[in-house]
Chains A and B, each alone.
Chain A
Amino acid sequence: MLEVGKIKDKLLINGQELKSRLFIGTGKFPQKSLIPDVIEGSGSGIVTVALRRVDFTDKDENIVNYINKDCIIMINTSGARTAEEAVRIARISREAGCGDWIKIEVIRDNKYLLPDNDETIKAAEILAKEGFVVMPYVSPDLMVAKRLEEAGAASIMPLGAPIGTNKGLKSKEFIRILIEEINLPIIVDAGIGRPSHAAEAMEMGADAVLVNTAIATAEDPVLMAGAFAKAVQAGRDAYLAGPGSIRNYAEASSPLTGFLSN
């Protein structure tokens, strides 16, 4: 029997305890100055950024300056179309002092931005050997996830729906299989468009979710970040609490005896 409030519920990735099960992406914000408050409001401990060539006419600040100091910065390899390019981005980021946490993202498909699972596995094999904390973004597939686990990935990040679509957990059944079969944290990434989607993922046992578009494109991103934080926590608590079974027929909540007569 679980004792409420006494559950020690920690999310460990690569042996490191994370303070939240909500990870935040930093793309698409209307003003970068919102980002510190969004991170604060979300309670997130992991924040993703990308690496790009400098646009010589652009005077924008480096995104890293907006990220709260106690957060882990996870570099994504977006823009990579092959394993080789993803590996290069990871190595450059590490040498530039941005740490070992790498979200491997290899995409060749411009319409749906679906990840290339094969190239992702190749990159994961190389980067795990080089000591990176490998967080691969993949289409949810059990055999792919098993190969990533063998390769030394630190988590699996299956997509709920294509990036930026806000459609929710369209791949729910396949993510469920990963949760059941894979002994690594499962972090649902992409497609989560509403706090209710995040709660749904957490209720079914996902270990964390990564949210970007849904927060960044909300009318009030800071308020939305807080809403996601509550939904993620509520979903996690519900998962730990063990939801009751779903039935076809009614089962009275009140005693079935009549009020005055039997």
Chain B
Amino acid sequence: MIINTFSWEEVFFLKIKLNGKEEYCGQKMTTLDSFIKEKVQNLKKVVVVHNDKVVKKKEWNKVLLKDNDSVEILKFVGGG
């Protein structure tokens, strides 16, 4: 008999590669919008890259996250 063992994280949470780090975060059926708002306090002009594609802020709520998606949350900082 094969017994599949799932961790509770796998059942309830999405496996997302967030800023290069793989983690279970965000519940299933989460939009990019609510995911980002949960993660970032200051949303002013962050740049969001979902699976290598920049997603504009007004489109965040149209993207449903799937397991193994990659999300990069970036911003412009001082530099020479």
Contact = CB atoms under 8 A, between A and B. Distances in A.
Interface of A: 25-29, 32, 35, 48-54, 56, 59-65, 75-76, 78, 92-93, 95-96, 98, 163, 189-190, 210, 212-213
B45 to A, nearest CB: 4
Interface residues of B, number: 22
Contacts of B78: 25-29, 32, 35, 49-50, 63
B53 to A, nearest CB: 8
A108 B75 CA distance: 22
B2 interface: no
Given A56-B40, A61-B42, A96 B80 contact: no
Contacts of B42: 59-61
Contact of B54 (A75, A92, A210): A92
A151 to B, nearest CB: 23
A64 B45 contact: yes
B25 to A, nearest CB: 11
Q: Is the interface of A mostly helix, strand, loop or mixed?
A: mixed
Nearest to A88: B52
A183 B40 CA distance: 46
A76 B73 contact: no
Contact of B79 (A32, A49, A53, A54): A49
Contacts of B41: 56, 59
Contact of A53 (B44, B54, B73, B80): B73
B76 A92 contact: no
A52 B74 contact: yes
B77 interface: yes
B40 A51 contact: no
Contacts of A51: 47, 74-77
A52 B76 CA distance: 6
B76 A49 contact: yes
Nearest to A163: B80
Interface string B15-44: 000011000000000000000000111101
Contacts of A54: 19, 40, 46, 73-75
Nearest to B20: A53
A93 B19 CA distance: 16
A63 B77 CA distance: 5
Given A27-B80, A75-B76, A53 B45 contact: no
